[in-house]
Amino acid sequence: MNQDELFQNNEAFILRTASFVLGRPVSRSDDEYSIALSAFWEAAQHHDPSKGSLQTYASVVIRHRLIDYIRSNKQYGQEISVEPEVFAGEMSDSSEIEGLRASIEKKLVRDMPDRTLTEEIGELALILQRYRIDFFDLPGSCPKARKTRSVCLKAARFVCAIAELLERLRKTLKLPAAEMESGVPIARKLLDKFRKYIIASVEIEAGDFPGIQAYFSGKEDL
């Protein structure tokens, strides 16, 4: 596939990713689109198929390049205060969700000079890909009821606390349902319905993601 075909086949993805990072619609005439296009081509040249899909890797590179642009452009200097409800499925307007997700990324990048949120998201996205979970689909996978979220998070922490269960999850890619039902306890129907949310919670808490963990420290939601 030549460069023109590659861009044509991935144009919607590039526009969507750029719009997500900036928290507003991006068109082909915007400078940000040119930056995203260049970043995508860079990713395509360095992509290793054995480590995940091109789009997953490219999303990290695009975000990194656009965040550099945000940092150097004064018009993006105003940070937005964001609460973690954006990951709890409580926002109904899709454009609002995208803008709030982007603001989380900008806030954490500002607070993490040594290891950017972009890098953490990229690493976590690759881990979740093994479970067939898209990181940016998590808001739609979260329980809306606070009580249900609390139970799911207790279930995730239960797995993290027992090395054997954590190892089994990562080996089989399946939740240790029987142990979780008796140890938390939690209903099997909740484990099935909110599998993605619980697994993501486990990997965030058990993994090396200090930025994401710090932002949600002491909070009920991921």
The pLDDT value given to residue 53: 82
Write the pLDDT tens digit of every residue in 192-222: 999 999 999 999 999 888 777 765 544 444 4
Q: 11 or 115: which carries more pLDDT confidence? A: 11
Write the pLDDT tens digit of every residue in 111-155: 444 445 667 777 788 888 889 888 777 777 888 898 999 999 999
Confidence of residue 188 (pLDDT cuts 50, 70, 90): very high
Write the pLDDT tens digit of every residue in 32-78: 999 999 999 998 988 888 877 888 888 888 888 888 787 776 544 44
What are all long-range contacts of 68-72, with beta carbons under 8 Å and residues at least 24 apart?
69/32, 69/35, 70/21, 70/22, 70/106, 71/109
pTM above 0.85, yes or no: no
- B/e letters for 133-172, b = 16+ CB within 10 Å, e = fewer, are bebbebbebbbeeeebbebbbbbbebbbeeeebbebbeee
The pLDDT value given to residue 84: 41
Closest CA to 177 of 162, 163, 161, 190: 190
Would you call the peptide bond into 113 cis, given omega within 30 degrees of 0 as the criterion?
no
Mean pLDDT to the nearest integer, 174-200: 95
Mean residue pLDDT across the chain: 78
